[in-house]
C-alpha cells in the first residue's frame, strides 16, 4: 500500500470550477475528476465536495480499488476509467518485481479491482479491455506504454461518447421545458461532460431546458452535493428537491422529462441505477412524464438477460443510520441499504447511447443497435 502517496498536489489549482491540471482528455466541463499526471492517477475526492476540492494521488492498484470501494470516485463510466489506470499501475508493479512473470502476477490485482463494486458493468468492461491489451504485448517488453495508451483511449472515448449522447438526447427534447434528474450522472461520474447531465448541458445550450430539478439522492446526497454543484458551475438553473418531493413535482406539471444515467443495462433493456430511479419511472409513467436513460454502450451487459440477474450492491447500514458521523436513528434500529434498483424496460421511453437512440427499449431493439454498428 502507498498511502503516503495520497494527498493534495500543489501542481494542481483549485477554484470554483474544480481542479485543473494536465488531463488525459478534456470535455466541455469545468470539473476534472480523473487525471493521469506524472506517472500516477489523481482522483478528485467526491466525498469532500462541494465543501472542498481535494485531488488524491494513487500509485498502487490496491489503493485505486479501495478508492472505488470507498466512493472517492463513483459513477459507472468513471469507475471504468479509474480501473483502467489501476491496471496500468498493477502491471508496472508486477513488471518491476519480475519481467518474466508479470503477466501471471497481474491477474490477482485485476481481480481485486474487479471486486471493488459489483453493480457497475463498466468496471468489468474496462478491465476486460485491459486484459486484451495485456495479451497483445510481445515478449518481455515493458507493458506500461501500451497499457497506458489503452487506458488513455478509454478515457478519451468516454468523453467523446458523452458529447455524442448529449447531442442525441437533447434532440429528443422538442420544446423548452423543465426536467428532473437523480443522483449524479455528470462530469464527476464519467471521464468528462456527463451522460444524463451531458444531455442536460447540450439541451440547455440549445435553449430546450429552462430549469432542472435535482433529487437530493439519499443517503450519500450525490444530487445535493454533486449534481447541484455541477449545474451551478455550468450556469444551469437548478432547484434541489427532497427525493420524496419528486412525484409531487410531477403532479404540479413542472416536469416534462426525467433524465438519468445507468450503472448497468441488461440485454432486454432493464436498467440498474441509483436507488430511487425505479420510483421515479413509476411516477413518470403515471403522470405522463417521459423517462430517458443515458448510458454508453459499455454499460449494456448483453450477457445479462434481464434486470433480475443484475447484482445489487448493499452497503453499510450506518450510511442510513448516521449522518456525517452523528447517529440520527435510535439505538436498536436496523437498516437495509440497497444502493441501486432496477427499472423495467417497459417504463423507459428512450435509451440514449453514443451509437444511437433506442426508443421503448426491448431485447430485439438493443440487439439491432449493435447489429447496425457492426455493419458500418
Which of 263, 270, 341, 349 is catalytic? The answer is 263
SS (H, E, C) the chain: CCHHHCCCCCCCEEECCEEECCCCCCCCCCCCCEEEECCEEEEECCCCCCCCCCEEEECCHHHHHHHHHCCCCCCHHHHHHHHHHHHHHHHHHHHHHCCCCHHHHHHHHHHHHHCCCCCCHHHHHHHHHHHHHHHCCCCCCCCHHHHHHHHHHHHHHHHHHHHHHHHHHHHHCCCCEEEEECCCCEHHHCCCCECHHHHHHHHHHCCCEEEEEEECCCCCCHHHHHHHHHHHHHCCCEEEECHHHHHHHHHCCCCCEEEECCCEEECCCCEEEECCHHHHHHHHHHHCCEEEEECCHHHEECCCCCHHHCCCCECCCHHHHEECCEECCCCCCCCCCECEEEECHHHCCEEEECCEEEECCCHHHHHHHHHHHHHC
Round to whole Å and give the CA distance between 103 and 143. Answer: 9
Q: Which of 207, 370, 201 is nearest to 297 (CA)?
A: 370
Phi-psi region of 282 (alpha: psi -120 to 50; beta: other; left: phi over 0): alpha
Would you call 349 a catalytic residue per the annotation? no
Handedness of CA 154, 56, 31, 36 (dihedral sign): negative
Catalytic residues: 263
Amino acid at each position: 500500500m502507498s498511502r503516503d502517496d495520497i494527498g493534495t498536489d500543489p501542481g494542481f489549482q483549485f477554484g470554483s470550477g474544480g481542479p485543473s491540471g494536465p488531463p488525459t482528455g478534456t470535455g466541455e466541463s469545468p470539473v476534472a475528476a480523473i487525471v493521469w499526471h506524472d506517472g500516477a492517477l489523481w482522483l478528485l475526492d467526491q466525498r469532500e465536495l462541494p465543501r472542498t476540492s481535494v485531488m488524491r494521488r494513487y500509485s498502487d492498484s490496491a489503493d485505486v480499488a479501495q478508492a472505488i470501494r470507498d466512493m472517492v470516485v463513483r459513477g459507472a463510466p468513471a469507475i471504468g476509467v479509474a480501473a483502467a489506470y489501476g491496471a496500468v499501475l498493477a502491471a508496472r508493479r508486477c513488471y518491476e518485481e519480475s519481467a518474466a512473470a508479470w503477466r501471471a502476477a497481474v491477474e490477482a490485482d485485476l481481480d481485486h479491482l474487479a471486486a471493488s463494486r459489483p453493480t457497475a458493468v463498466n468496471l468489468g468492461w474496462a478491465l476486460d479491455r485491459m486484459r486484451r491489451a495485456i495479451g497483445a504485448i510481445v515478449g518481455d517488453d515493458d507493458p506500461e506504454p501500451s497499457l497506458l495508451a489503452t487506458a488513455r483511449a478509454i478515457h478519451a472515448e468516454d468523453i467523446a461518447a458523452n458529447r455524442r449522447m448529449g447531442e442525441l438526447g437533447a434532440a429528443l427534447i422538442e420544446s423548452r421545458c423543465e426536467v428532473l434528474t437523480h443522483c449524479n450522472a455528470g462530469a464527476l461520474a464519467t471521464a468528462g461532460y456527463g451522460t444524463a447531465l451531458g444531455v442536460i448541458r447540450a439541451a440547455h445550450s440549445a435553449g430546450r431546458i429552462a430549469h432542472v430539478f435535482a433529487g437530493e439522492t439519499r443517503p450519500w446526497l450525490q444530487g445535493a452535493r454533486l449534481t447541484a454543484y455541477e449545474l451551478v458551475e455550468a450556469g444551469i438553473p437548478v432547484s434541489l428537491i427532497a427525493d420524496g418531493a419528486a412525484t409531487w413535482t410531477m403532479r404540479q406539471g413542472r416536469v416534462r422529462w426525467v433524465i438519468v444515467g445507468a450503472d448497468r443495462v441488461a440485454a432486454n433493456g432493464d436498467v440498474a441505477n441509483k436507488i430511487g430511479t425505479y420510483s421515479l419511472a413509476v411516477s413518470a409513467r403515471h403522470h405522463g412524464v417521459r423517462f430517458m436513460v443515458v448510458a454508453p454502450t459499455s454499460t449494456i451487459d448483453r450477457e445479462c438477460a434481464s434486470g433480475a440477474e443484475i447484482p445489487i450492491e448493499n452497503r453499510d447500514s450506518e450510511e442510513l443510520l448516521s449522518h456525517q458521523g452523528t447517529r440520527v436513528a435510535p439505538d436498536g434500529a436496523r437498516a437495509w441499504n440497497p444502493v441501486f434498483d432496477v427499472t423495467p424496460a417497459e417504463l423507459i421511453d428512450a435509451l440514449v447511447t453514443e451509437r444511437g437512440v433506442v426508443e421503448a427499449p426491448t431485447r430485439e431493439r438493443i440487439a439491432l443497435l449493435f447489429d447496425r454498428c457492426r455493419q458500418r
